[in-house]
Every structure is written in C-alpha cells, then in structure tokens.
Chains A and B, each alone.
Chain A
C-alpha cells in the first residue's frame, strides 16, 4: 500500500509502494503543492511510470513559478529508474 505523511519539518514523506493502483492518492497531494518543498523518499519502496509522471508534471508546473521539488533519501532502485528516464537531470536529488 501507499500513503503520504506530512512531516513536522515541512517535508512530504512518500511511504510504501506507488504503483498504478495507488497513483490517484499521490496525484491529489501533488496537485495541491504550489511552492518549493522537499519530498522524502526514505520509506518509498517502489515507484512506476504513473508516479514518475506525477512528479514530472508537478516539477514542470512549479518551475514555471520559480519553485521546485527536492527529492531526498532515494533508494538505489528508484535512483536507477530516475537515471533511465533522465529524471535525475530534472530534480535536485540528495
């Protein structure tokens, strides 16, 4: 399963598996982001193309107003997926 937590430090934490059956949950959260924010992926085990598309669209929209998503604590598998799609060039990743 997948869920989203809002950290006390202002970050958004993605937790679990963001597959196609869970993407609507993520979409609702990301559609409401209007300013730069850190997305903590420490507990995100899995992401597929629909989830990537949501991050992509949000980043494009935010950059139009001078804002951006920053991604932290990405696991190695997800890092590979970002590399294969060149998304690693679109985001600040720590």
Chain B
C-alpha cells in the first residue's frame, strides 16, 4: 500500500535517526532485529539497551500481527537517539484503533494462580520502557516509546 510518509527506497535518515519499513509478517522479525542492532551499534548506545529494545519492538510488532489482521500496509520503524534518550516510533498505516496504553494492568500473581499468562507481552513492554504513548489519526496508529540512556 502506498502512503506519502515514506521515501521510495524504504529507508532514510541520519545516523542518529533511521526509518525503515517492514512487511507485515512474522518473517520480518529477523530484519527488524538486524535494523535495531545496526542502529544501536552505529550510535554507540550501550549494549545493555539492545535486549530490552528488541524485546519491546518484537512485542509491539507481533501485537499488530495478532490484533490488526485486516491491515495491509507495511509497518514502519523509526529509531532516534538524542543526548539522553532512545526513541522508537512504530507506525501502522492501515490500523483500527487499539490503544495499548489503556490495556488492563496484568496481575502477575493472579495469572500464575489462574494458570493463564495473558497480556504478558504488553506488560513486559510497560516494564522495560520509561514512557509509552499512542496516537491514532486517519487509520494511522503510532506507538512511541522512550527509554532513557545512561551517560
């Protein structure tokens, strides 16, 4: 699906800001991980950030695959490093409204008792980032997460 926000070569940005689109498929995960790894290495971000950021990106991406099955667009991943922050924006250009910031809080003790580990992915995302925001406009959903960096 064409949308005007992305260049035709599917990737743009300066070293401290990179954007890339990925097909809406589980097979994209390997390339998504490589993209994040490349960004972290290029920007000399501490290694300890790589695992939580890859985990957050995977959980958000697979959440789209699970709950936005009717969507046809690619998913874009926008990574930015500022002096003290790592910022990731994930955009779905063909989404129904689904505000993950309003998902119910997971009671980990309860799910162990009930023997059903529901909502683990989003719970983990909320634990691993410093802030998470959701915007929805004209079928475009944008999830923005911020992780503070050690200096």
| Residue numbers in B under 8 Å from A49 (CB-CB) | 59, 117, 120-121, 124
A-B contact list, 20 entries, CB within 8 Å: A19-B58, A20-B26, A20-B62, A21-B27, A21-B29, A21-B30, A48-B59, A49-B59, A49-B120, A49-B124, A52-B117, A53-B117, A57-B117, A60-B115, A77-B51, A81-B55, A81-B124, A85-B117, A85-B124, A89-B112
> Distance (Å) between the CB of A74 and the closest chain B CB?
13
> Distance (Å) between the CB of A66 and the closest chain B CB?
16
Is the CB–CB distance between A85 and B120 below 8 Å?
yes
B interface with A by C-beta (< 8 Å): 26-27, 29-30, 33, 48, 51-52, 54-55, 58-59, 62, 108-109, 112, 115, 117, 120-121, 123-124, 127-128
> Distance (Å) between the CB of A24 and the closest chain B CB?
10
A60 to B59 CA separation, bound complex (whole angstroms): 23
Known contacts A17-B33, A77-B52, A85-B108; can you find 15 more A-B pairs with CB under 8 A? A19-B29, A19-B58, A21-B27, A21-B29, A48-B59, A48-B62, A52-B120, A77-B48, A81-B55, A84-B123, A84-B124, A86-B108, A86-B109, A86-B112, A90-B112
